[in-house]
């Protein structure tokens, strides 16, 4: 029988004291459970005396989303912890440090980031982060390049593919992103006002073909170890620093999926500005920052990825003339397509984003939803034709212009 059980606050405190040299032995620790209770328990444990603190994150054996609950493997705690370690090794400044891990109890003890804000909340408040594109572009480039066959001995990479097979969490993505939005499903969740849009998603067979191709890539391409859920709720941020957390969806998949996730969430916030910034000049200027940052994420990724490739590629044919360009081109097309799929699912699918859902005015909210769908569809429908990042700029501006959304 497994010893697994959800930790109590008292147990979490006892555990925290076992981290060697972290808290004084006689510290009187405070503990608060700060998780949302949907997938994990998250304990924040602090010594008021020294002000030192840590996080204990424990996986729950189920997932709850919008009232639905289904069983979920605890193995995702191992995957999250191992992915955190890989990512921290490659990007020590951009990933919290892991102090310890317990397989049976499915918890990880890690660095506390209390001084950081969840990026989604900061974006909703209208904040801008001038270093974000540089930070996340570096994170993506380094984690994807160094876990791919470009940089790893193929036998070692295959063992990693095996360690990161993540059927339960991938299934959530497969259903919620690549299936439900395109059919009648009890998992879908959208206001009756946009039923016309939902119907188009269900009946547009040209769109279905593109989604089928993206889904196939998600299912069959072991290009690199992805974060797998790289939205702005998985990013802690300050003006100067960025930390990527929560890689429990990590698995070997197509590189564009991670980059697309970042861009999708910036563009969802861009669409949401309809509801947040009433002054048009102000709104346009903020939307321009969001769009430019989306493009910069790609540009930073590409520059860093090419640099790593030139310097560190071990693949014997990596330096064949033209190969790097073709590889980058493929990742760009995938990025656009996955970004689009991720925008669509956040409007009509089970799980939404607060950027749009918390817009106070109903009519504004609907306009933001329609704009997000319009950009999402345009990204998907054009992804196989894209040759340069500036085309994504055009696609977003055109979709937004047609919708009266911005710029």
Question: Which residues are annotated as part of the binding site for ATP?
Answer: 40, 57, 111-113, 246-248
Q: What is the largest CA-CA distance in the chain?
A: 65
Provide the token pair at 272.
């949401």
> What sign does the CA torsion over 368, 369, 371, 375 have?
positive
Ordered DSSP codes for 51-75: --EEEEEEE-SEEEETTEEEE--TH
CB of 174 to a copy of itself, least distance (A): 6
C-beta separation of 146 from 307 below 8 A: no
Of residues 200 and 219, the one with the C-beta less far from a copy of itself: 219
> What sign does the CA torsion over 86, 89, 95, 97 have?
positive
Of residues 7 and 207, the one with the C-beta less far from a copy of itself: 207
CB of 169 to a copy of itself, least distance (A): 10
Q: How many residues does the chain have?
A: 407
> What sign does the CA torsion over 336, 85, 88, 243 have?
positive
The H or E element that residue 29 is part of is: none
CB of 336 to a copy of itself, least distance (A): 18
Provide the token pair at 209.
């073909």
Of residues 34 and 314, the one with the C-beta less far from a copy of itself: 314
Binding residues (CB under 8 A) for a copy of itself: these are 149, 154-155, 157-159, 161-162, 165-168, 170-171, 174, 178-179, 182-183, 205, 208-209, 211-213, 215-216, 219-223, 315-318, 320-323, 326-327
First CA to last CA distance, the chain: 60
What gap in Å lies between CA 215 and CA 175, rounded to an integer?
10
CB of 235 to a copy of itself, least distance (A): 27
Q: Which residues are annotated as a binding site for substrate?
A: 229, 345
In degrees rounded to 5, what are phi and psi of residue 237? -145, 150
Of residues 116 and 323, the one with the C-beta less far from a copy of itself: 323
Of residues 118 and 170, the one with the C-beta less far from a copy of itself: 170
The H or E element that residue 120 is part of is: helix 119-124
Torsion of CA 391, 300, 304, 215, to 10 degrees: -50
Angle between helices 75-90 and 167-178 (to 10 degrees): 90
CB of 46 to a copy of itself, least distance (A): 39
Which residues, in sequence order, are CB contacts of 8 under 8 Å at separation 6+?
none
DSSP secondary structure letter of residue 96? P
Q: Which residues are annotated as a binding site?
A: 40, 57, 111-113, 229, 246-248, 345
Of residues 168 and 364, the one with the C-beta less far from a copy of itself: 168
Of residues 129 and 178, the one with the C-beta less far from a copy of itself: 178
The H or E element that residue 289 is part of is: helix 280-312
Of residues 182 and 249, the one with the C-beta less far from a copy of itself: 182
CB of 153 to a copy of itself, least distance (A): 9
C-beta separation of 58 from 106 below 8 A: yes
CB of 138 to a copy of itself, least distance (A): 23
CB of 315 to a copy of itself, least distance (A): 8
């Amino acid at each position: 029988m497994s010893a697994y059980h959800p930790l109590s606050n008292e147990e979490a405190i006892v555990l925290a004291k076992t981290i060697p040299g972290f808290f004084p032995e006689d510290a009187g620790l405070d503990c608060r459970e700060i998780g949302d209770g949907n997938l994990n328990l998250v304990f924040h444990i602090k010594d008021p005396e020294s002000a030192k603190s840590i996080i204990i994150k424990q996986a729950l054996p189920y997932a709850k989303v919008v009232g639905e609950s289904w069983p979920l493997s605890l193995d995702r705690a191992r995957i999250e912890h191992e992915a955190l370690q890989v990512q921290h090794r490659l990007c020590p400044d951009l990933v919290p440090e892991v102090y310890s891990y317990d397989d049976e109890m499915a918890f990880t003890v890690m660095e506390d980031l209390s001084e950081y804000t969840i990026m989604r909340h900061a974006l909703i408040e209208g904040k801008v982060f001038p270093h974000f594109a540089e930070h996340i572009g570096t994170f993506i480039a380094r984690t994807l390049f160094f876990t791919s066959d470009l940089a790893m001995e193929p036998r070692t990479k295959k063992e990693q593919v095996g360690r990161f097979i993540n059927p339960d969490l991938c299934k959530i993505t497969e259903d919620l992103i690549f299936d439900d939005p395109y059919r009648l499903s009890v998992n879908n969740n959208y206001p009756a006002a946009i039923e016309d849009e939902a119907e188009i998603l269900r009946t547009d067979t040209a769109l279905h073909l593109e989604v089928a191709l993206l889904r196939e890539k998600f299912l069959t391409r072991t290009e690199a170890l992805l974060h797998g859920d790289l939205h702005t709720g998985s990013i802690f941020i300050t003006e100067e620093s960025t930390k990527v957390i929560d890689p429990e969806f990590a698995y070997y998949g197509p590189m564009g999926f991670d980059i697309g996730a970042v861009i999708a969430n910036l563009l969802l916030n861009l669409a949401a500005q309809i509801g947040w910034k009433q002054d048009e000049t102000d709104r346009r200027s903020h939307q321009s920052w969001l769009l430019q940052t989306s493009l910069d994420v790609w540009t930073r990724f590409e520059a860093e990825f090419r640099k790593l490739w030139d310097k560190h590629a071990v693949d014997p044919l990596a330096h064949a003339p033209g190969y790097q360009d073709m590889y980058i081109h493929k990742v760009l097309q995938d990025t656009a397509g996955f970004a689009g799929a991720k925008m669509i699912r956040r409007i009509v699918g089970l799980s939404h984003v607060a950027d749009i859902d918390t817009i106070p005015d109903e009519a504004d909210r609907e306009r933001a939803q329609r704009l997000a769908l319009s950009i999402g569809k345009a990204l998907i429908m054009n992804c196989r034709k894209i040759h340069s990042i500036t085309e994504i700029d055009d696609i977003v501006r055109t979709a937004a212009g047609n919708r009266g959304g911005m710029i």
